[in-house]
Chain A
């Protein structure tokens, strides 16, 4: 009785969230947050419960008008919630001074909003200046951030109008990182940038994040960007209702309902292949392989014993060398390395299954030959292997949801 009274709003475990074991600590928690604009009856955000995991990129994605930007702006209280609580790093910040709160949270917007009358250095120094850092510390921090964002040091004294769109958004991110905040809010940060530059900025940002390990909330309307950037994705429907909250892999493998399935669109299976790497799957070892000094008759026996239509010949260094089929072996060549078709390309262990699919579609043998870093043969990926992996991913995702729904039903 007393326990329920002390917490009127249960930090309700999200229905579709990952299991507690793999989920990191919560950095920000929105608890029953509702926003109703003046003069409107229908809330823009309706009693939203959202736990934002620490050190990860959480992407809020949904159709336009679903309230994802509003949700983001509720976190740093650019929009004041009508009701509900916001817990930031264990502290209830629902009613603290919003200006002081915002100095602890980096904020990046699509339009960037650099101060045009200030130099790049002054722009990046905005929050450190507000926090009263001394000049030397600010200067060192600006130099460091320019370096981190891959911008030349002589940008310091330039003005924003002298920058390209991509450079300006790099400065925007550097400015948000000014005081090294633990949390970064990003509202469609790469939305207004041309596709090629956007791709580059996304990759740079992911590389940066792998070092920085910030807690990032990232808003986009582009599911592909969400899949690429997100450690976790929250797919939002009307009024910021969470339709599904999970890792991109599981969302792609198991869209929870028609809304999510429609939103992620066709080709979700193919997109899912990006998340598995060759080294993590069982590479078929039953494929017929012979060494280059095997006789042609012996090789023929190996091929006949296997269901495959061709076999792979390895050279002296165990590198894949030739593909040989029935006909090639029927001619009983003296040197196996002189017969059949040359192996023209191979796949490294760190390649994704998407790369593997492309490789096997391109190869004339219908297989992708996997090698390790020194080029030594490791195994084969063919279409059956891929199909098995996909089946496995779907089954795992389904099992995950069934277990979760069952346990939820019991409690």
Chain B
């Protein structure tokens, strides 16, 4: 015991070593952002830049609000999914309601099987244009990974652990809260992370129904045939996606119960 403490490095250093993978990602993201900034600034100062380039790539007027919209589309739609899919998953894994699991999963699967573009248009036809229409459409699209992972996560809990808990006098609710859910957390978190990533990508299409987001810049780049605009939109979307995934991976590590 004493020998182990003597040879083991400080906790801070061992944390860094264990999480080295997590530190590589921000480095990539920052260098990507810096490279984009340098390239775009250089281009806009050169003679090749036209008026439309400068107009579309104005930070305060266009890029910043689009970035904020993009992030809020992602977060709200994911939150919506969490609020719907996790309770639904809990409900559908209770013995009494298990028989509804199949049909509900079927509906969720059809949500993801529908082309994203089609789903946005359907939502537009039903709810009209705007950010919230996009959020509902994204939410419906990503119910499946969270719902399925919640159900799988709860089902994979070792039955003997539940049996032991019940045998000691934990009520069904206590077993669910104190045993089943904590043990399902890693799988549920993986589902939420998947939903987040899908939502970041899908939010780039929200502009189609007036939802805003970085898709606006990408589409402008396409319409104007301006490579610098197109590239800026695309790379910024990628940066958002990488950042969101990085944060999600940290959350996965921190929220995972110890001992698993």
Indicate if the CB atoms of A117 and B259 lie closer than 8 Å.
yes
Highest count of chain B CB atoms <10 Å: which of A102, A113, A154 = A113
Indicate if the CB atoms of A99 and B160 lie closer than 8 Å.
no
CA distance A348 to B72 in the complex (A): 84
Interface string of A174-195 (1 = CB under 8 A from B): 0110100000010000000000
CA distance A76 to B170 in the complex (A): 13
Instruction: Please give the distance in Å from B72's CB to the nearest CB on chain A.
Output: 34
Interface string of A110-135 (1 = CB under 8 A from B): 01111111110000001100100000
Measured CB to CB, the nearest residue on chain A to B186 is A117
Question: A403 on the interface (CB 8 Å rule)?
Answer: no
Residues of A within 8 A of B170 (CB): 99, 126, 130
Interface string of A147-165 (1 = CB under 8 A from B): 0000000100001110000
Indicate if the CB atoms of A111 and B160 lie closer than 8 Å.
yes
Question: A103 on the interface (CB 8 Å rule)?
Answer: yes
Indicate if the CB atoms of A113 and B160 lie closer than 8 Å.
yes
Indicate if the CB atoms of A112 and B164 lie closer than 8 Å.
yes
Q: Count of B residues near A, CB < 8 Å? A: 23
Interface string of A213-236 (1 = CB under 8 A from B): 000000000000000000000000
Indicate if the CB atoms of A78 and B182 lie closer than 8 Å.
no
Indicate if the CB atoms of A117 and B168 lie closer than 8 Å.
no
Question: A323 on the interface (CB 8 Å rule)?
Answer: no
Question: B38 on the interface (CB 8 Å rule)?
Answer: no
Indicate if the CB atoms of B167 and A76 lie closer than 8 Å.
yes
Interface string of A184-212 (1 = CB under 8 A from B): 01000000000000000000000000000
Question: B60 on the interface (CB 8 Å rule)?
Answer: no
Instruction: Please give the distance in Å from A329's CB to the nearest CB on chain B.
Output: 66
Indicate if the CB atoms of A159 and B168 lie closer than 8 Å.
no
Question: A377 on the interface (CB 8 Å rule)?
Answer: no
Question: A107 on the interface (CB 8 Å rule)?
Answer: yes
Indicate if the CB atoms of B257 and A117 lie closer than 8 Å.
yes
Partner of A118, one of B158, B163, B168, B259: B259
Partner of A113, one of B164, B257, B260: B164
Indicate if the CB atoms of B164 and A114 lie closer than 8 Å.
yes
Interface string of B125-168 (1 = CB under 8 A from A): 00000000000000000000000000000000010111111111
CA distance A113 to B182 in the complex (A): 15
Question: B208 on the interface (CB 8 Å rule)?
Answer: no
Given A99-B169, A99-B170, A100-B169 in contact, is the A109-B259 Cβ separation under 8 Å?
A: no
Interface string of B172-206 (1 = CB under 8 A from A): 00100011001100000000000000000000000
Given A112-B160, A113-B158 in contact, is the A119-B167 Cβ separation under 8 Å?
A: no
CA distance A402 to B165 in the complex (A): 46
Question: B55 on the interface (CB 8 Å rule)?
Answer: no
Residues of B within 8 A of A78 (CB): 163, 166-167
Measured CB to CB, the nearest residue on chain B to A176 is B168
Indicate if the CB atoms of A102 and B169 lie closer than 8 Å.
yes
Question: B61 on the interface (CB 8 Å rule)?
Answer: no
7 of the cross-chain contacts (CB-CB < 8 Å) are: A78-B166, A100-B169, A102-B169, A107-B164, A117-B258, A130-B170, A185-B167
Known: A102-B169, A117-B260. 6 other contacts (CB 8 A): A107-B164, A107-B168, A111-B163, A114-B161, A116-B259, A126-B165
**B: which residues have CB within 8 A of A?**
1, 158, 160-171, 174, 178-179, 182-183, 257-260
